[in-house]
Structure 1
Amino acid sequence: MAKGAARGKEKVLLSGVEETLLAAIWCRAQDAQSEAPLLGDPYAQPILDRCDVDYTRSTFAALHDERWARFVSGRARTLDTWCQDYLDGMGDRPVQVLQLACGLDSRVLRIRRGANVRWIDLDRPMVMNLRERIYADLPVPEQGEEEGEYIMRNLSVTVDNWLGDIPHDRPTLIIAEGLLMYLEPEQSRKVIRDVVDYFGLGGQIIFDVLGTVLQKHTSQVQWLKSSGVRFSWGVDDPKEIEEIHEKLKVVGSEHWNEYMKVERRISCAPPWFGGTATKMASKVLPSFNDFAQVMRFDF
């Protein structure tokens, strides 16, 4: 990931779920520019600057509320913390990180990793092609030997035998941020079963989920409307995940207000359906207030 010769902007032709990866980077850039950032991702804005995208589109206009930046960035910070905790806990032993649907995320640059860490970022071919072009001249430090191996793979998690050529010779941390809620329920459960079965030396899996009430009202989520994307899988309790595979044991979870560092009041939450409609939903459907969590499991 060494810096190359400066080039012009890269035309972005993504659509559907893949388009949401830019929305996440956009929110992290807003957080980084705020007075008190939660994540402070120094790579978010440089990534956006390399993308030829109309940021006045309705998808981005609906995310201007600063609560979206806190939501996306707070979630990423907790996953970063869990990732770092796992790697630090392994000491100098060989370990692997597999990040599913990595998009343009810069987590591999934000995490301290030693020579014992093999890091694999995985996404669909069109996304990984864009990632290679963007990262080719991103202003990042040269990769040193002390950072271990970095691999990018063009793979979709929904095809058969998708893990077939991924190394499984060491304990592995699987990260799935902003992925599982877009898959059909059985697809999401299969992805989780697949990684637990495949990585026989054990590890952890960390990911985010949305609640069932929010999932059922996905058609009303404002920033999704222009993309045609919908949330398909909702989860309310970590115990639901433990039921997917006998080896899964919950280690921890955080609700949206915990990783956003705000009070558990709907006025502090992102306006999923717009300000007024979101407040009404929280009153009519109290369980809506549990609309998002991040979860961590050993296996």
Structure 2
Amino acid sequence: MRIDTSGITPEEETAFLTLKARAVNNGWRRPILSDPGAAAAVDQIDYNFDALGVISPVVCQSSLRAKLLDDRVRSFVTEHPNAVVVDLGAGLDDGYRRVRPPATVDWYSVDLPGMAALRDDVMPPGPSEHTIGVSVTDPAWIAGIPSDRPAMVIADGLFAFLTKEQIIAAMRAITDHFPSGQLAFNDYGRMAIGVWISKLFPQKMFKKVNQLRGFEGYNDPRTPERWNPRLRLAEEFSLVDAPEVELFPTWVRISSRMARYSESMRRSARILRFSF
């Protein structure tokens, strides 16, 4: 019997889009990201994933940015084997099993209560893996996480659904709580990517994602430094520069190569990493 999802909220449901994208990619002959956990989760959940209408660019971008964040987490825990990893808006991302951190690393997956409960059913926590079911807009979300160790905090897709004030508060909570660490997240610049995707591909989920977006974004990658003086930009990396672009389907690969020559397009899919 499949796991019921009738109690999942519209905000939580958006996690199914990237889950399905990673599951589709996992089945490719040459996947961008090996993610058997995503494929297994789709098989377990009672949900009409086919109705999402996941398209190739979303499959590519979702899988590649997860891989890029995995790589940065892996590097951090190699350097700091006693680290804490915090995945904000984790949804049903199986980064813990993909990264395979040392047993000395504690991994916290934070998401809304309904998604957190579903996550524990679909992906039972492994050793040193913890699930926190609370919104990051609640100041208490960080209280139960150790504050005496270096932290690697990631957010894949979350900040687009928060307001500017909520993002600033979350960043402030991170730098106030942990003695040192890094914050890495995907960013879309100021380009209204959700608007043109929902027009070109008017599937239900794309419209829902666009309706739930809470922040218009920014072009200058140093903007968070002005919000929070403890943050220092360590990296701005456009997805179109990743070697994995060569694994994209032909037309997506060609359009990604062309995007390298446009600053606005380069900003529309990037990873930003800050040290603190």
TM-score category, normalised to shorter length = 0.7 to 0.9
1:229 paired residue number: 211
The number of equivalent residue pairs is 262
Structure 1 CA distance, aligned partners of 2:17 and 2:194? 22
- List gaps (5 residues or longer) in structure 1: 1-7, 137-141, 272-278
Relative to structure 1, the CA distance from residue 208 to residue 226 in structure 2 (aligned partners, 3 Å threshold; closer, same or farther) is closer
Structure 1 CA distance, aligned partners of 2:140 and 2:88? 15
Task: Using the TM superposition, give the Cα deviation of residue 151 of structure 1 relative to its aligned residue in structure 2, in angstroms.
Answer: 1.4
Structure 1 CA distance, aligned partners of 2:182 and 2:59? 27
Task: Using the TM superposition, give the Cα deviation of residue 215 of structure 1 relative to its aligned residue in structure 2, in angstroms.
Answer: 5.5
- 1:107 equivalent in alignment to 2:95: yes
Relative to structure 1, the CA distance from residue 190 to residue 33 in structure 2 (aligned partners, 3 Å threshold; closer, same or farther) is same
2:128 paired residue number: 149
1:139 paired residue number: none
Q: Residues 71 and 270 of structure 1 are in contact (CA less than 8 Å); yes or no, is this contact kept in structure 2? A: no
Q: Deviations over 1:42-101 (max 9, x none)?
A: 1111100011111232xx11x2x32221111000000000000000112x4x21111111
2:175 paired residue number: 196
Q: Residues 16 and 227 of structure 1 are in contact (CA less than 8 Å); yes or no, is this contact kept in structure 2? A: no
Q: Deviations over 1:115-137 (max 9, x none)?
A: 2211111111111111111124x
2:28 corresponds to which of 16, 23, 34 = 34
Structure 1 CA distance, aligned partners of 2:212 and 2:174? 25
2:110 corresponds to which of 106, 122, 126 = 122
- 1:208 equivalent in alignment to 2:186: yes
1:274 paired residue number: none
TM-score (normalizing by structure 2): 0.85
Structure 1 CA distance, aligned partners of 2:132 and 2:234? 28
Q: Residues 215 and 232 of structure 1 are in contact (CA less than 8 Å); yes or no, is this contact kept in structure 2? A: no
- 1:66 equivalent in alignment to 2:43: no
Over the residues paired in the alignment, what is the CA RMSD in angstroms?
Answer: 2.6
- 1:298 equivalent in alignment to 2:255: no
Task: Using the TM superposition, give the Cα deviation of residue 290 of structure 1 relative to its aligned residue in structure 2, in angstroms.
Answer: 2.7
> 3-state SS of the aligned residue for 1:24?
helix
> 3-state SS of the aligned residue for 1:251?
strand
Structure 2 CA distance, aligned partners of 1:216 and 1:103? 19
Relative to structure 1, the CA distance from residue 210 to residue 268 in structure 2 (aligned partners, 3 Å threshold; closer, same or farther) is same
Q: Which has the higher helix share?
A: 2
Structure 1 CA distance, aligned partners of 2:228 and 2:112? 26
1:177 corresponds to which of 133, 140, 156 = 156
Structure 1 CA distance, aligned partners of 2:93 and 2:254? 21
Q: Residues 195 and 210 of structure 2 are in contact (CA less than 8 Å); yes or no, is this contact kept in structure 1? A: no
Structure 2 CA distance, aligned partners of 1:129 and 1:69? 25
Relative to structure 1, the CA distance from residue 82 to residue 213 in structure 2 (aligned partners, 3 Å threshold; closer, same or farther) is same
Q: Which amino acid aligns with 1:192?
A: M
Q: Residues 238 and 250 of structure 1 are in contact (CA less than 8 Å); yes or no, is this contact kept in structure 2? A: yes
- 1:86 equivalent in alignment to 2:70: no
Task: Using the TM superposition, give the Cα deviation of residue 112 of structure 1 relative to its aligned residue in structure 2, in angstroms.
Answer: 2.4
Task: Using the TM superposition, give the Cα deviation of residue 237 of structure 1 relative to its aligned residue in structure 2, in angstroms.
Answer: 2.6
> 3-state SS of the aligned residue for 1:39?
coil
